[in-house]
Structure formats: structure tokens, C-alpha cells
């Protein structure tokens, strides 16, 4: 068949800072998915978009074309409203694990399609796969049944959901175009809108351990995604949250599951509890249930009950012992004083080098590997006390993990105070 456009004409239009028309955008996404537009042509267009940007109409149409490249799920037959959360990723970000069952315990269904970790940020599915028997791959029918019966599901996205995004995501990774805000926003939002949720809360991380290092850049991404959700009829709100410092006291797979269960049991680190409750309130409000206080469901055990049912429904054993790394190495505080910084990126890289993450999609992860933190910025420490414990099955990895941690923390004289952003920096709706 003859094609409606020529790829070179579309590339040149964006290269020369022109707007792409709706028909051009529809064609280029469809033709790329069909293999008519070659990878080198799409990478050239992605670079032109990175350099010259897109306006709101172009980004909205690009996102819609990616959604139309595959199936769109529909949760309108469920007996309760749906609300979902997406985090742009960080170090120690285990929030999805306690959040999904907590929101479900408050009467709102949570269809959470999650991914695997790549590089220094952990993947939700990798964390949950450290639970014996738990499986990430569900059919659409299984997902619908679990949402109706349990109220929450965390699983892998099916191949039929926004296939254009899957292809373009892999290409951006190897062509230096990952940072293009129109492409980041459309990638995230095409999957979330196609997933069919009625409301969406975005957790846009800012700081060294996040994709966005700068508050203004993060705000631009958040605003773009909120606009995309709104244009598609999904109630969308975004929070900018702090990723200068790892979330909680663990970075790793089984380590983070253990910490998440502590939160569901009514304990856990303050920052994890605070962010879980803040996001839960946003998700409930977006779904029309601001009359419910999620703190009650955390206190009275209802959230823990949903967690156990959610894990069991996907073949996991909520009572099974979690994997523990064979070897540990303790990093001791070198002096008395106040811990004023703990760099999220460096802790994330150390956890990755210990085996908690992967460099390529094919790599296996170690369930027990990671970094445990015994103090966070603001804490008083004493020389010789444990500061960090490194966990791995392969002790030869310790040296490179310790290299990653050089200069990662600073101990100032007593009375010093850390200069940190608040946990929640801004809200965009």
C-alpha cells in the first residue's frame, strides 16, 4: 500500500522547528509500529523532538496515537471506582507495595501495572518476585477478577498495551533521547491511560537518585503529564517528592518487601509511612472517596489483610520467609556527629552493584542483595557504630559497591542540621 507521508518529511519538519500535524503524528506512530519507519528514522525524529520540543496539542496527539497502537482496558464493570499511582522511580521507593492494598482497603480498586528495575532504580516486580511463588504475569481476565475480589493487583503490563511505546522506549535508551520531556510524558501516560484507570496520581521524584535532578525540570514534566491525563479524561494530579536521600532504610528487593510489611503492620520508617498516606489520600480524593482516612486502615489491620490476599491471589505465600543474602559487610561511622547527607544515587548504584539491579533487561537480580541504612540525615551518630550494611550472595561485589559509596555521606559536628528539601515539594493539579 502507498503510505500517506514520507518519514524524511516528518523528520525535516520537526528539525526545522515546525509543528507536526495530527495526521503526520498518527501516521508516524502507526508506521513505526508496523516497521515502515525504520529505527534510524525514528531515532532522528526523537532527537529533533528532544532539541525542539512539542506543544500541548502535539504531545496529546502523540500520546493518543501510542494508546491506539494497542488495546485499551476498561474497568467500568467493576463495583468500585479505580485509582492508580505512577512513580518516576527512585532509590528505596517501595511505596507501591503498601499503597495498593491500603487504598483497596478504603474501597477504591487499584490496577497497578508495574515494571522491572534497570540501572540504579529498583523495579516493583523484582521486589515482589522475592516472595516465594508470587507471579507478575496475569491475563486480563485474572486481573479483572482479582480487582473485583481483592481490590488491588500489582502485575506486569501485557504486550498488547501501547506496543508503540515499548518499541520507542527501547530505542530512546540507546540513542541519547531518554531526557526528552514530551517523550517521557507520552511514554508514561500512554500506558497509564491505556490501562483504563479512572484517576491517576503521579509521584515525580526530584534529586540525585531521581531521573529529574532539578525541581523546575520535574515541575515541567509533572505539568505535561497532568495536562495529558486531563486531555484524556483521566482525573490526574502530580506530587513532586524528594529523592536527594533514599526512601526508608532499605534499597534492594527482599529488604524492601520486609520494610513494606513493617509499614502495613503499623510500623516502618517515618518517611515511607508519610508518603504512603499522602499518596493514598490523593488517590482516594481523585476517586471521589475523600471521606475515608487511610490512616485508620493502616492502624486496624485492614490494609495488611488486603496485602495478604493480594499476594496469595498471585501465587505468593505471605507467610514465607524472604530470601536473605549469604554475605554482609558493615560500613561504620568514622566519627561522632550528625549525619547531614546520604546521597540517593550513590546508595542506589551500590545496591545495583551488589546484585539488586540489572545493567541489561536480560540480567538476573539477587533477591537478598541491597543496602540497609542504620541512620538517615539528621540523626546523631557515634564513631564505630554501624552506618550501612551491604548485602549480597557474591562477596567479590563488595569492593565496587564500596567504591560507589565514597563521599556518599557526610558527618558534621554535633548541632549541625541537614539542608534537605521537604518530602513533598509541590502539588500540581
The residues annotated as belonging to the active site are 86, 165, 172, 187, 191
- How big is the chain, counted in residues? 429
Rg (the chain; Cα; Å): 22
**CB neighbour list of residue 256: distance below 8 Å, 6 or more residues apart:** 92, 94, 97, 122, 127, 248, 250, 370
How many other C-beta atoms are found inside a 10 Å radius of the C-beta of residue 348? 31
Grid look-up 485474572 returns: 142
> How far lies 114's CA from each of 152, 191, 352, 410, in Å?
13, 10, 19, 34
DSSP assignment of 27-51, as one string? HHHHHHHHTSS-HHHHHHHHHHHHH
For the record, the C-alpha cell of 407 comes out as 563521599
Query: How many CA atoms does the CB half-sphere of 160 hold within 13 Å?
Result: 6
298 torsion bin: left (phi>0), alpha (psi -120 to 50), beta (else): alpha
230 close to 254: Cβ distance less than 8 angstroms: no
Residue closest to 122 by CA, chosen among 370, 325, 322: 370
DSSP assignment of 63-77, as one string? HHHHHTTS-----TT
DSSP class of residue 118? Answer: B
189 close to 183: Cβ distance less than 8 angstroms: no
State how beta strands 84-87 and 199-206 pair: parallel
Question: CA–CA separation, 17 vs 49, rounded Å?
Answer: 9
Q: E strands, 243-326, where? A: 250-252
> How far lies 417's CA from each of 206, 336, 341, 410, in Å?
21, 14, 10, 12
Amino acid at each position: 500500500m502507498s503510505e500517506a507521508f514520507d518519514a524524511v518529511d516528518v523528520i525535516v519538519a520537526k528539525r526545522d522547528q515546525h509543528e507536526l500535524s495530527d495526521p503526520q503524528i498518527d501516521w508516524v506512530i502507526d508506521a513505526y509500529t508496523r516497521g515502515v519507519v525504520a529505527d534510524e528514522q525514528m531515532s532522528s525524529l526523537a532527537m529533533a523532538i528532544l532539541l525542539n520540543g512539542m506543544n500541548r496539542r502535539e504531545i496529546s496527539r502523540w500520546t493518543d496515537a501510542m494508546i491506539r497502537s494497542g488495546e485499551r482496558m476498561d474497568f467500568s464493570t467493576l463495583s468500585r471506582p479505580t485509582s492508580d499511582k505512577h512513580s518516576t522511580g527512585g532509590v528505596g521507593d517501595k511505596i507501591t507495595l503498601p499503597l495498593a492494598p491500603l487504598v483497596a482497603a478504603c474501597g477504591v480498586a487499584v490496577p497497578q501495572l508495574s515494571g522491572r528495575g534497570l540501572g540504579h532504580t529498583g523495579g516493583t516486580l523484582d521486589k515482589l518476585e522475592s516472595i516465594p511463588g508470587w507471579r507478575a504475569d496475569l491475563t486480563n481476565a485474572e486481573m479483572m477478577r482479582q480487582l473485583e475480589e481483592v481490590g488491588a493487583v500489582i502485575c506486569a503490563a501485557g504486550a498488547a498495551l501501547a506496543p508503540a511505546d515499548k518499541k520507542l522506549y527501547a530505542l530512546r535508551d540507546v540513542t541519547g533521547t531518554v531526557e526528552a520531556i514530551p517523550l517521557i510524558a507520552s511514554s508514561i501516560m500512554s500506558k497509564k491511560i491505556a490501562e483504563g484507570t479512572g484517576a491517576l496520581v503521579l509521584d515525580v521524584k526530584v534529586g540525585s537518585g531521581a531521573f529529574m535532578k532539578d525541581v523546575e525540570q520535574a515541575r515541567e514534566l509533572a505539568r505535561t503529564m497532568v495536562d495529558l491525563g486531563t486531555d484524556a479524561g483521566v482525573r490526574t494530579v502530580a506530587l513532586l517528592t524528594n529523592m536527594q536521600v533514599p526512601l526508608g532504610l532499605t534499597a534492594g528487593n527482599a529488604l524492601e518487601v520486609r520494610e513494606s510489611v513493617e509499614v502495613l503492620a503499623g510500623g516502618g520508617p517515618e518517611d515511607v509511612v508519610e508518603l504512603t498516606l499522602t499518596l493514598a489520600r490523593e488517590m482516594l480524593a481523585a476517586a471521589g472517596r475523600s471521606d475515608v482516612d487511610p490512616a485508620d486502615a493502616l492502624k486496624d489491620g485492614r490494609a495488611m489483610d488486603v496485602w495478604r490476599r493480594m499476594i496469595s491471589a498471585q501465587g505468593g505465600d505471605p507467610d514465607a520467609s524472604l530470601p536473605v543474602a549469604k554475605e554482609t559487610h558493615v560500613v561504620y561511622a568514622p566519627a561522632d556527629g550528625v549525619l547531614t547527607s546520604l546521597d540517593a544515587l550513590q546508595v542506589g548504584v551500590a545496591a545495583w552493584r551488589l546484585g539488586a539491579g540489572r545493567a541489561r533487561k536480560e540480567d538476573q537480580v539477587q533477591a537478598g542483595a541491597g543496602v540497609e541504612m542504620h541512620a538517615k540525615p539528621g540523626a546523631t551518630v557515634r564513631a564505630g557504630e554501624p552506618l550501612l550494611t551491604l548485602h549480597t550472595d557474591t562477596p567479590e561485589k563488595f569492593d565496587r559497591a564500596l567504591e560507589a559509596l565514597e563521599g556518599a555521606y557526610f558527618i558534621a559536628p554535633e548541632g549541625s542540621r541537614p539542608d534537605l528539601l521537604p518530602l513533598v515539594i509541590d502539588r500540581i493539579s
